[in-house]
Chains A and B, each alone.
Chain A
Amino acid sequence: KNQVEQSPQSLIILEGKNCTLQCNYTVSPFSNLRWYKQDTGRGPVSLTIMTFSENTKSNGRYTATLDADTKQSSLHITASQLSDSASYICVVSLYGNKLVFGAGTILRVKS
């Protein structure tokens, strides 16, 4: 069964600290892997999209990495801000027009 597993389920960090969110997937083959940010009460917003041949992709303080051999991706957030508090969702896009969503990691940044 195709699955996208994210860890941790939730995370609390202090403002200014860095953190890394993990995504392990079993789906294969895939066309791209995405990370979305979802603020409370809002729809998901795309942060990064990586094809299977890309190893890293940055968007400001967000850096996503992809290891297609181990089927792992991570999202690193640098110098966290209160506005980073949100749910972060890993999504794998399969060939054949299907998206498989992870359940998300809830990040809370405290002052």
Chain B
Amino acid sequence: DAGITQSPRHKVTETGTPVTLRCHQTENHRYMYWYRQDPGHGLRLIHYSYGVKDTDKGEVSDGYSVSRSKTEDFLLTLESATSSQTSVYFCAISDGPQSTEAFFGQGTRLTVV
């Protein structure tokens, strides 16, 4: 899995609580991405980062925030989890913009009850 580790792999949390998912890479790639995957939908971009402390919103960013204080770590925070955020979350990395090859982590299954 191209040196990408997501943690936790599974999480159940209650509505209204904050949740942080972590993506760690050992490839020294500049770009990191957070996607969510839901049945019947393609992967949808939440946020991405193009360098340390440089982040931008994707198409479904509402309710999510990110931080990247080191090249190797990209954190996704659900500020106040809702049931609509129950999903599988994937981190991806690439050494260029999205037009270049991307490598995905194994995913985090999040359930909000």
* A positions within 8 Å CB-CB of B: 4, 31-32, 41-46, 49, 89, 91, 93, 95, 97-104
Asked whether A101 lies within 8 Å of B44 as measured between CB atoms, the reply is yes
Interface of A: prevailing SS: strand
- Per-residue contact bits, chain B 84-96, to A (CB 8 Å; 1 contact, 0 not): 0000001010000
- Per-residue contact bits, chain B 45-75, to A (CB 8 Å; 1 contact, 0 not): 1000000000000000000000000000000
- A103's nearest neighbour on chain B, judged by CB, is B42
Contact of B40 among A41, A98, A103 (CB under 8 A): A103
Asked whether B105 lies within 8 Å of A43 as measured between CB atoms, the reply is yes
Interface of B: prevailing SS: loop
Q: Does B104 contact A (CB under 8 A)?
A: yes
- B41's nearest neighbour on chain A, judged by CB, is A103
Asked whether A100 lies within 8 Å of B106 as measured between CB atoms, the reply is no
Asked whether B98 lies within 8 Å of A89 as measured between CB atoms, the reply is no
Asked whether B107 lies within 8 Å of A95 as measured between CB atoms, the reply is no
Contact of A31 among B45, B99, B102, B106 (CB under 8 A): B99
